[in-house]
Chains A and B, each alone.
Chain A
C-alpha cells in the first residue's frame, strides 16, 4: 500500500508534473464533453481537419510572437474559428462531396503550416511540440487561460443543452420550432474550435481527434442517455489523462501519445466486453 502511495505521490513533487496533470485532465475532460456532439453528429473528420487546419495560424503566431505561448494561443484561436466556420460553410456547398472538399483544404493548410515553421532554425523541435503537444511544458499562465476558456465552453454546452440536442438529433424539428438553427450550428463549431486550441498543448494537432472522439465513443457504448454519456466521457478522459501522464513519467514515453493510447485501450476493452455480452 505504502509502495503504491509512493508511486502515485512521487511525480507530484515536481511542479511541472502537477501543472501537466491539471492541464491534461481539464483539457481532456473538455474535449470529451464537446466530443459527445462530435461523435453523435458524425464530425470526427471535421474535428481532425479543424485541428490540422490551424497549423498555419500557429506557425504565424510562432514566427511573429517570438516563441511566446500567449501569441501562439491567440493566433491558434483565430485560425481555428476561421477554419471551423470555413469548413462549416464548405460542408453546406453542393458541388463537391463534403469530405473531399475538407480533405483538400486541410492537407493544404497543414502543408502551409509546415512550410512556415521550416523557415525557423529549431524547426524539428518546434514542429514536434505543435504536432504532438508538450503537456509537461505548461506554465501557470497557460493553466489560467485553459481554466477560463474551458469554463466558458463548458458553460455554453450546459446552458444551450436542449438547443444543441435538438439541432443535432432533428434539424428539421429545430426549423419548425423556429430556433435559429444556423446560429446554434455555428456556435457549436466555434466551441469545438476553442476546445481544440485550448487542448493543443496536451496532445498537439496530430492526435487531437482522438481526444475529441475516443472517450465519447467509449461512453456511447456504455449508456443510452445523453447526460450519462457526457459525464462518462469526461470521466474516461480524465482517467486516461492521469494514467497516460504517470506512464509517461515512469516509462519515459511521450505524454500526449501515452494519454491517447490509454484512451484507445479503454475503448477497445469496453468494446470487447460489450461485444461479448450481446
Chain B
C-alpha cells in the first residue's frame, strides 16, 4: 500500500541514516533545562559507550527524570544537544524509555502481550495490523524476560517486578539499543530487584546500553559500571569508587544525606528521599 510505504519512509528515514560509525553511543553536550525560570538541569555533558550500564543518582528534584526524557527525545532541552550515534534522538527508534511505575495507568484494559507488541508499532507502519511475525517477536521478548506464561494476563494483575519485566520485554520488541529506566527498583521487594538486575546483566551481553535512574546508592555502586551523580549540575561521573567521595556526596545531597566518617571509611546512613526526582 502506497500510504504504508510513505509512512515507513517518514518514520524510519532518519533511523536508517542514524548510526554514524565511530561516534559514541550517547553524547550529552552542555544540556540545560529551564522550566518557567526554574533551573532543572545546568550544563550537563557526558559520553556513554555501547554496552555500558550507568546508574544516574541524586536527590529528589535533581533532574534525573528530566535528563532521561531529554535523552529519549521526549523533552527538548533549553540549551545544548543530545547525540545518539552522532544524530539527534528524534531520529532514532532504538531508544526505549521505561516510565516510573506510578506514571502508568495499570487499569487500562490491555494484556501483557499487547503492551509488548506496542514496542513494535513504530516499525509496523500505518494501517497494518500486527502480523504473525510481530506476535512471534512478542513471544520471544516475553520468553527472554521469563513471562511467556503471563502473556494473556491483564496488566492490572501484575506484581511490581512483573510490570518492570513486561516493559523490558517491550524494549526488546522495540529492538532498543539504549534503555532508559526511571526508578525501576522503587517499591520492589529484594528478589524482584535482583530479577531485574539479572535481566540487565543479560542485556549488557547483547550490547544493550542501560541508563537507570535510582536513589539506591548501594545498588548503584554494586551493579553498575559507572555512576552519574546529579544535582541539577553533574557533580561527578565515573566508576563508583571515584564518584562516591565525601565531597561529591555532600555537594549532591547537602543535608539530605547523613554521612558518617569512621576512620577511612565513609558510611552513608540514609538519605531522606524515596521517590520521584
Which of A's residues lie within 8 Å of B, judged by CB?
40, 94, 159-163, 165-166, 168-170, 172-173, 175-179, 220, 223-226, 228-229
Contacts and interface: CB of A to CB of B under 8 A. Distances in A.
A226 B92 CA distance: 29
Contacts of B97: 172-173, 176
Contacts of B119: 173, 177
A40 B121 contact: no
B122 A159 contact: no
A40 B11 contact: no
Contacts, number: 85
A228 B152 CA distance: 14
Contact of A162 (B96, B108, B121, B154): B121
B192 interface: no
A182 to B, nearest CB: 13
Contacts of A162: 117-118, 121, 124, 129-130
Interface string B59-84: 00000000001001110000000000
Given A163-B121, A170-B118, A226-B114, A176 B72 contact: yes
Q: Is the interface of B mostly helix, strand, loop or mixed?
A: mixed
Contact of A169 (B92, B105, B124, B156): B105
Given A176-B72, A225-B154, A169 B127 contact: no
A150 B77 CA distance: 42
Contact of B122 (A40, A160, A177): A177
B228 to A, nearest CB: 20
Interface of B: 11, 15, 36, 69, 72-74, 90-93, 95-97, 99, 104-105, 108-111, 114-115, 117-119, 121-122, 124, 126-127, 129-130, 154, 156-157, 170, 174
B274 to A, nearest CB: 22
Nearest to A161: B129
B109 A226 contact: yes
Contacts of B157: 224
B109 A170 contact: no
Contact of A177 (B93, B105, B114): B93
B109 A229 contact: yes
B203 to A, nearest CB: 17
27 contacts: A40-B108, A159-B127, A161-B129, A162-B121, A162-B129, A162-B130, A165-B114, A166-B118, A169-B105, A169-B110, A172-B74, A173-B97, A173-B118, A173-B119, A176-B73, A176-B97, A176-B174, A177-B11, A177-B93, A177-B118, A177-B122, A178-B15, A178-B91, A178-B93, A178-B122, A224-B157, A225-B110
Contacts of B127: 159-160
A63 to B, nearest CB: 41
Given A173-B119, A178-B91, A178-B122, 11 more contacts: A40-B108, A40-B109, A165-B110, A165-B114, A166-B118, A170-B104, A172-B97, A175-B72, A177-B121, A178-B90, A223-B109
A225 B154 CA distance: 7
Considering residues A40, A166, A172, A228, which has the most beta carbons from chain B within 10 angstroms of its beta carbon? A172
Contacts of A226: 109-110, 114
Contacts of B36: 94
Contacts of A40: 105, 108-109
Contact of B95 (A163, A176, A225, A228): A176
Contacts of B104: 170
A228 B108 CA distance: 13
A227 to B, nearest CB: 9
Contacts of A159: 127
B65 to A, nearest CB: 11
B70 to A, nearest CB: 12
5 tightest A-B contacts by CB? A177-B122, A224-B154, A175-B74, A226-B109, A224-B109
B109 A220 contact: yes
Contacts of A161: 129
B25 to A, nearest CB: 16
Nearest to B11: A178
Nearest to B90: A178
